[in-house]
């Protein structure tokens, strides 16, 4: 992850700040630590609050269960990144992404009214009743399940790719895919979303760009910004499918260092899944194409990926 | 489907007549440096519907008179092109250029590009800023029902550099909204035919990768080596009259007062896969009639010219119209064939041409430099290598 952003931890003080600022919020749980932010689950009851311009009513009880995400808003880069995620979520209303209800930056302590030493960016999103894919990977270890998952994920991501800002998710991995009880998927954590080919919000101290190295594309790990576009997400989809079918990430073994992973992603050609007996030649070829080291060898037309997946589903 | 377009040039009516009256070719690539705006607009809607317009932004500060008749040309829209100022006019230029192409009903929209002579390190950034981004942004807000092509002007050095090629491929394949590419390449050479087998092979390999990435392709500004590109499958090839439509050169976009001496007239002989000096061709016809029948495919245009008491000059149309007919027939015969069959056919044609050359030369006859068979072995080497690596 980005080396500059300061990580926010779950503390009693932070919970007190939230409870004071949102009198109607009842925390029911905390998500496992991941990334740079804290995620609280809970529910709102309608509440009123004294604002500069008078007392205001907040009818937030209707939202049901929500996820409150709290991030560090102390640097322009971190604010810009969160703002980018908010802009994306606000402009892509879709069943594949959580609904964003509210966002704001807290700069003063709500009780003491003193400036916060660390400004907080707070977003309130729909809590999706689901299991992360990382918690149910065994359910996706067969070919038909993978075909359905790849099709759904591609449909979800295509909304980002087709956006006028040509968004790229950049962090597709099992932890960021939620599986609802009815099987529908929701893609979360647009925290490092960016516009294709852009120079990015900030320079990074790392040699590679922000990503999860075991699922990232070679161009992300080489920080080849010009070539980071929807094809980088296609690579991650390939790694995800490979991992689900083989039961193991193709670029990671126990004991691997970060350097090992980078070398593997950029130069190791994993054996085709069909040769390992995990799937048919057809699906294996699709996954190999998705995982091509050179972006130009991956799918350019997403319709062709859909067509290939659909063709296999019918056999 | 394999198709053949006229690379329209000087005396554009030769191409238009050949297309409309002789049914040669599948369409026209219109050329503003040769055709003023009113001339293009006055073409029949039927012809325009089988033509596309190359906006030719290659040399944006060109002051060529005919280019000045187009309000969207960079030099015109910005009142004197300067790189630093053009960004303020790029979107206006793009909008006008798109409107022009749509209102004329051409069969596709062409996004123009700038030509760079050398291995320009910022080629990609410059093409994006100059035309690609403005055009795509405007096209993205419109509903159009014709394919969108991007122009890709290259040089042989770019094509021969694996790193440069890969950069181009990665860049271009990041645009799913582009349906096709109008590609051509400048090769600095002293011969009329391409004789560099490495360049030909790498060009074929590069175009193959573009096809694999599902781009439709028009391979522009080609001489008779165009026939080799049919190995790529369903692509559009080109044919032109004067040499500056059969090999790209930025020179024709420069205003020059130089009086250039016209070249000698040549005739295309399909049995040699080459253009032969008219005088030499006539000698072969007279002295070696059996061999002549093997290399010459008669047309009324060539028959009349060969029978005329005075030899033609390079700027008369008949020998070009003869070429259009001969070359169209050659491409037409390749259309129904599979790629493997095309390879066999082209390989046979090259070997046959080599045999024909040898037979003629064994009769105490030497071809002048540009009419010789020196291009044929490199062509054979290039397609054999392409076959081994991509077809077999």
All residues of chain A having their beta carbon less than 8 Å from the beta carbon of residue B212 are 297
Structural domains in chain B, sorted by start:
3-253 (3.20.20.380), 266-391 (no CATH)
Facing residue for B176 by CB, picked from A226, A227, A301:
A301
Confidence of residue B82 (pLDDT cuts 50, 70, 90): confident
Same fold, A12-126 and A130-313: no
| φ, ψ for residue A215, nearest 5 deg | -115, 0
Residue A4: is its pLDDT beyond 50?
no
All residues of chain B having their beta carbon less than 8 Å from the beta carbon of residue A297 are 212
What distance in Å separates the CA atoms of residue B10 and residue B55, rounded to the nearest whole number? 16
What distance in Å separates the CA atoms of residue B5 and residue B8, rounded to the nearest whole number? 9
**CB under 8 Å, gap of 24 or more: what pairs does A216-224 form?**
A216/A170, A216/A265, A217/A265, A217/A295, A218/A265, A218/A266, A218/A293, A219/A295, A219/B170, A220/A170, A221/A262, A221/A265, A221/A266, A222/A266
| φ, ψ for residue A313, nearest 5 deg | -60, -30
Q: What is the pLDDT of residues A262-311, one digit of tens each?
A: 999 999 999 999 999 999 999 999 999 999 999 999 999 999 999 999 99
Q: What angle do CA B253, B259, B262 make, to 5 degrees?
A: 90
- Of A10-14, A180-184, B336-340, highest mean pLDDT: B336-340
- Percentage of chain B with pLDDT > 70? 99
Fold of the domain spanning A130-313 = Transferase(Phosphotransferase); domain 1 (1.10.510)
Residue B334 to chain A, least CA–CA distance (Å): 28
In eight-state DSSP terms, residue B290 is H
| φ, ψ for residue B216, nearest 5 deg | -75, 145
Q: Does A199 touch chain B (CB under 8 A)?
A: no
| φ, ψ for residue A111, nearest 5 deg | -95, -50
Q: What is the pLDDT of residues B299-329, one digit of tens each?
A: 999 999 999 999 999 999 999 999 999 999 9
Q: Which residues pair with A56 in a beta bridge?
A: A49
Q: Does A222 touch chain B (CB under 8 A)?
A: no
Which of B123, B128, B137, B170 should we substitute to test contact with A (largest number of A Cβ atoms within 10 Å)? B170
Mean pLDDT of A39-48: 92
Confidence of residue A2 (pLDDT cuts 50, 70, 90): very low
Question: Which residues, 6 or more positions from B196, have their beta carbon under 8 angstroms from its beta carbon?
Answer: B156, B187, B189, B378
Facing residue for B209 by CB, picked from A161, A296, A304:
A296
Q: Do B214 and A304 touch (CB under 8 A)?
A: yes
Which of B128, B213, B215, B217 should we substitute to test contact with A (largest number of A Cβ atoms within 10 Å)? B213
Which of B173, B209, B214 should we substitute to test contact with A (largest number of A Cβ atoms within 10 Å)? B173
Specify the CATH architecture of the domain A12-126: 2-Layer Sandwich (3.30)
Residue A1: is its pLDDT beyond 80?
no
Q: Does A302 touch chain B (CB under 8 A)?
A: yes
**pLDDT for the residue numbered A204:** 47
Where in chain A are the domains?
12-126, 130-313
Facing residue for B170 by CB, picked from A164, A294, A301:
A294
Greater model confidence, B87 or B163: B163
Q: Of A149, A155, A164, which is closest to residue A96 (Cα–Cα)?
A: A155
Q: What is the pLDDT of residues B345-378, one digit of tens each?
A: 999 999 999 999 999 999 999 999 999 999 999 9
Dump the DSSP string for B260-288. Answer: PPPPPPEEEETTTTEEEEHHHHHHHHHH-
Smallest CA–CA distance from B213 into chain A, residue:
A300
Smallest CA–CA distance from B140 into chain A, residue:
A164
């Amino acid at each position: 992850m980005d080396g500059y952003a300061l990580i926010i931890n779950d503390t009693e003080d932070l919970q007190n700040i939230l409870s004071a600022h949102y009198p109607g919020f009842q925390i029911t749980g905390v998500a496992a630590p991941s990334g740079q932010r804290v995620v609280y689950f809970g529910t709102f009851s309608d509440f009123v609050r004294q604002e500069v311009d008078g007392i205001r009513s907040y009818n937030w009880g209707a939202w049901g269960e929500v996820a409150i995400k709290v991030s560090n808003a102390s640097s322009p880069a971190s604010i810009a990144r969160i703002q980018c995620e908010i802009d994306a979520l606000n402009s892509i209303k879709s069943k594949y992404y959580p609904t964003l209800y509210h966002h704001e930056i807290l700069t003063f302590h709500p009780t003491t009214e003193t400036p916060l030493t660390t400004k907080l960016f707070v977003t309130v999103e729909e809590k999706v009743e689901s299991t992360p894919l990382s918690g149910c990977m065994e359910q996706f270890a067969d070919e038909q399940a993978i075909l359905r998952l790849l099709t759904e994920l591609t449909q979800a991501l295509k909304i980002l790719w087709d956006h006028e800002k040509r968004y790229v998710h950049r962090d597709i991995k099992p932890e960021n895919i939620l599986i609802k009880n009815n099987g529908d998927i929701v893609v979360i954590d647009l925290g490092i979303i960016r516009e294709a080919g852009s120079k990015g919000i900030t320079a990074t101290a790392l040699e590679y760009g922000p990503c999860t190295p075991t699922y990232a594309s070679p161009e992300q790990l080489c920080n080849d910004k010009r070539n980071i576009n929807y094809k980088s997400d296609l690579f991650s989809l390939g790694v995800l499918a490979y991992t689900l079918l083989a039961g193991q990430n193709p670029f990671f073994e126990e004991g691997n260092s970060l350097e090992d992973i980078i070398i593997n992603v950029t130069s190791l050609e994993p054996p085709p899944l069909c040769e390992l007996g995990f799937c048919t030649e057809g699906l294996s070829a699709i996954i190999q194409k998705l995982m091509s080291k050179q972006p130009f060898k991956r799918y350019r037309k997403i319709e062709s990926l859909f067509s290939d997946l659909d063709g296999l589903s019918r056999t | 489907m394999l198709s053949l377009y006229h690379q329209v040039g000087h005396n554009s009516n030769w191409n238009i007549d050949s297309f409309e009256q002789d049914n040669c070719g599948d369409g026209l690539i219109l050329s503003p440096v040769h055709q003023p705006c009113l001339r293009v607009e006055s073409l029949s809607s039927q012809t325009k519907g089988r033509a596309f317009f190359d906006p030719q932004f290659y040399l944006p500060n060109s002051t060529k008179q005919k280019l000045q008749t187009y309000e969207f040309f960079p030099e015109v829209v910005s009142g004197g092109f300067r790189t630093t100022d053009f960004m303020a006019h790029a979107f206006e230029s793009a909008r006008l250029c798109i409107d022009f192409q749509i209102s004329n009903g051409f069969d596709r929209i062409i996004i123009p590009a700038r030509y760079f002579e050398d291995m320009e390190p910022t080629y990609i950034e410059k093409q994006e800023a100059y035309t690609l981004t403005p055009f795509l942004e405007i096209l993205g807000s419109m509903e159009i029902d014709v394919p969108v092509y991007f122009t890709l002007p290259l040089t042989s050095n770019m094509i021969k550099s694996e790193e440069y090629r890969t950069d181009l491929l990665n860049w271009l394949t990041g645009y799913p909204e582009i349906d096709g590419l109008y590609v051509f390449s400048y090769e600095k050479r002293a011969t009329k035919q391409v004789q560099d087998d490495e360049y030909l092979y790498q060009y074929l390999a590069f175009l193959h990768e573009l096809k694999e990435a599902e781009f439709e392709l028009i391979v522009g500004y080609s001489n008779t080596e165009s026939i080799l590109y049919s190995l790529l499958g369903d692509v559009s090839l080109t044919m032109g009259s004067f040499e500056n439509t059969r090999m790209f050169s930025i020179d024709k976009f420069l205003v020059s007062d130089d009086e250039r001496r016209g070249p000698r007239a040549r005739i295309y002989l399909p049995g040699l896969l080459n253009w032969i000096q008219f005088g030499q061709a006539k000698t072969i016809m007279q002295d070696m009639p059996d061999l002549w029948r093997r290399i010459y495919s008669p047309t009324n245009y060539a028959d009349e010219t060969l029978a005329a008491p005075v030899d033609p000059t390079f700027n008369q149309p008949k020998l070009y119209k003869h070429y259009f007919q001969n070359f169209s027939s050659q491409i037409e015969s390749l259309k129904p064939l599979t790629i493997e069959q095309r390879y066999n056919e082209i390989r046979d044609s090259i070997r046959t041409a080599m045999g024909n050359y040898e037979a003629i030369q064994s009769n105490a006859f030497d071809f002048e430099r540009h009419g010789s068979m020196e291009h044929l072995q490199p062509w054979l080497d290039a397609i054999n290598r392409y076959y081994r690596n991509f077809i077999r």
